[in-house]
Structure formats: C-alpha cells, structure tokens
Amino acid sequence: MDALPITEETDVEYASQTAGVMHACGHDGHTAIGLSVAKLLVKFQQEWPGTVKIVFQPAEEGLGGAKMMVDEGVLENPKPDYSLSMHIWNDSPLGQIAATPGPAMAAADLFTLKIFGKGAHGAYPHQGNDPILAASQVVSAVQSIVSRNVDPLETAVVSITAINGGTAFNIIPPAVELKGTIRTFLPEVREMVVQRFCEIVEGVSRSMGCRAELLIETVSPAVVNDERLARLVNRVRSEVLPDTGDISGLRTMGSEDMAYMMTDIPGCYIFVGSKNAAQDLVYGHHHPKFNFDEQALINGIALVSASALAILNDQF
C-alpha cells in the first residue's frame, strides 16, 4: 500500500526489492495492523453486535484515495456510525499514543502561481516588466498573512516551495512559476488565508506591471477527531495498554485524506508512537532510512481492536 519513489537505504531483510521505490511511511505496517484487527474481531465475533467495515485506503500520498473511495460508496450500504483510523508515528517514541480531541491534522491546499511580465535584456530592465522581481515581492508579502492576519491563538502555514523562471544570466524572462502549499485547521481560517493570498498575489503583481494566474487545489480538509470518540479511545488505551503514555494534544500541520471519511461520520484518528532511539529507528517518514519498532504494530492492533469492541458495545 502506497510505496514512495525513494531509494531505500536500510539493510533489513524486508527492504524493498524494487529499485527506486520503498515503504517509507509505514503504510505496510498499517496493512498488517488492519488485517490483524480483522482476524481478532472475527475470532471474538460472538462478543459484539453490529457490523464492521475494514477499509484499506490506497493512494493516500497526495492522490486522493480516500475521496475516491467515498465517491464510489465505501461509506454506504451500510453507512457506518463511527470510524477509527491510525498512523504509525516515527516522530514520537514507542509507547506514546495520541487520540487528540478536535483538530489533529491540517487541511492542505496546493497552489500554482504564474506571474507574467515582459521580457527584456538584463542590461536594459527599464524596457521590460520583471516577473522575477514581482515573484520576489510576492514571496515576502504572503508571509505577512500568518504573522498579521491569522489570530495569534490559531495557526496556519503558507510555504512557497518552488520558483522556476529564466534561462540565462542576461535575459529577464517573460514569466515565472511558483508552487507551494497552504495549511490550516479551521475552515474560517482557511477561507481568510486563501482570500488574503489571492489579494496579495494579484495586488503585488499588478503593482509591478505584471499579471498573475493562480490555481489553488484542495488536497484534503482537516482531520477533526470527534471529542466523545477520542475520550473513549483514550480510556481504552489506559485499560489495555496501561504502560503507554498519553500524548493527546499532538497536532500536526501534515495532512491526511482520511479526513474525507470523517466529514459526515464521527471519527478518531490515532497516532501510535514507533520511534526507538536505542535501535536507531529514528528516521522520519519519507526518509530513505525510515523504519519503525514493530512493537508499534502490537500497540496499534490492541488499541484499534479494543476501541472497536467498546464502540460496538456502546461503552462510551
């Protein structure tokens, strides 16, 4: 499930056998957890009423797999009352688990901005309208959105991650392209950030004698955990995994399209710590040396299975 275009640099026996592709985010571990949860629930099927759907979500890495599954009816016939999801989390040590009430992961928007000016010789800039200069002003100006427009008690990210333009040392190009991302938790903050971003891009470009074309694409909404369900998961964790630590309150500006499955159904997205410094399992997600402590698999299986049983038996 969801290998990444990265050349693996681990020397484990289960390392990728395909050059240039590896499991660098833990999705193979998630598959193992999902299969094990299914086996446990079937084994104890006499102890719970209701119906359980086990969903393996493909194409999470920016391709919108969850939304495609929702559009194709994964949440129908029957429609679930609750959802549980999880991610092995190498940013947190093994034994640390988070089921954060409320926003847990950010909404993600991607943008492509093209600024068109008028090309000229580098020695005669007055004969053109420099889109590189305009782009430089835009990069600086949009950083004021978070520092001056977003409530200091809220949060957002505006990142310019790519700038492409120009071909030679003595040519002012006719156009420049910029790419980046906007991250927010609250819908009202997102609306304001996007509005200010559009206003600044248009205003700055026009003031520099240039024209802007902006495309913003939504990757996923924010992951917002149902508070009642998060309390249940945290209670179950203390009962079945008493030696683990509660780090609920963990939030990340990373995104996750599981949010589409949680839009109309109360859900809880769980982070299961998997880092182990003693075994040098410290590399972050999407790193060529990514690997995790497999005890995290056991923790994930136990917590998701027990939480599902508690929900099915209405033990809120």
Q: How far apart are the C-alpha atoms of 163 and 260, rounded to whole Å? A: 31
Q: What is the DSSP string of 192-218?
A: HHHHHHHHHHHHHHHHTT-EEEEEEEE
Q: How far apart are the C-alpha atoms of 191 and 197, rounded to whole Å? A: 10
| Beta carbons of 299 and 240 less than 8 angstroms apart | no
Q: Which of 2, 130, 226, 257 is catalytic?
A: 2
Known catalytic membership, residue 294: no
Known catalytic membership, residue 60: yes
Q: How do 120-121 and 107-116 pair as beta strands?
A: unpaired
Q: Which of 60, 226, 256, 257 is catalytic?
A: 60
Q: How far apart are the C-alpha atoms of 177 and 32, rounded to whole Å? A: 42
Cross-strand bridge partners of residue 270: 86
Q: Which residues contact 23 (CB under 8 A, 6 or more apart)?
A: 2, 3, 4, 16, 290
Catalytic residue numbers, as ranges = 2, 60
